Amino acid sequence: MEKNETIKTYLCALIISLEKKEQVLINLISITKKQKIALEAQPTNLDEFKLEVSKKESLIKEINDLDVQFESLFHKVKGYVSNVEADYASELKKMQEMIPSVIELGVTLRGLEQQNKMKLELISTTRGKDAVNVKKSSKSVAEYYRTIHNLKDNKTWLDQKK
């Protein structure tokens, strides 16, 4: 019985991690939209864009930390849950419902980032060095996309438990 409670606690922690990630992704999307507005302004407002980059960097770090925690907990409970999945049906169902939402937010963010990247490259060719320096944040975003890919792998495992 004690082991079941521990596993349920881990699963609840995974759900909380997904909820936090969902909120951080929503915040990132909001910031990325602000960046889009700054890039589309006439004249382009690179100072505003750069200000938003610093906000995004901390959120991307938070997502990466959440992903590391999620992976760690996920691997701890994976073996136990697969043997007695009926005991954890509600928790697994909640996670199965949340993961597509988190992935969809990630895809939305990726699309917005791609649009901004193209606009920034266009500005870069017309303005020169100022715009090029801003592109450094793309490394952080690329790391985020790699972690989203890892989450997709977890979704596959969870979908098999339906």
The enclosing domain of 8 has a CATH number of 1.20.58
pLDDT at residue number 22: 96
27 lies in which domain range?
Answer: 2-159
Neighbours of 154 (CB within 10 A): 19
pLDDT at residue number 108: 95
Share of the chain above pLDDT 90, in %: 41
How far is residue 36's CA from residue 49's CA, in Å, rounded to a whole number? 8
Select from 105, 99, 101, 90 the least CA-distant residue to 144. Answer: 105
* Of 17-26, 88-97, 125-134, minimum mean pLDDT range: 125-134
How far is residue 79's CA from residue 121's CA, in Å, rounded to a whole number? 46
Confidence of residue 161 (pLDDT cuts 50, 70, 90): very low
pLDDT, the chain, mean = 81
Please name the residue ranges forming H helices in 128-161: 129-134, 138-159
Give the count of domains, the chain: 1
- In contact, 99 and 19? CB cutoff 8 Å: no
Q: What is the pTM of this model?
A: 0.75
Higher pLDDT residue, 56 or 1?
Answer: 56
| Mean pLDDT of all residues in 54-75 | 91
* Of 22-26, 118-122, 158-162, minimum mean pLDDT range: 158-162
pLDDT at residue number 162: 42
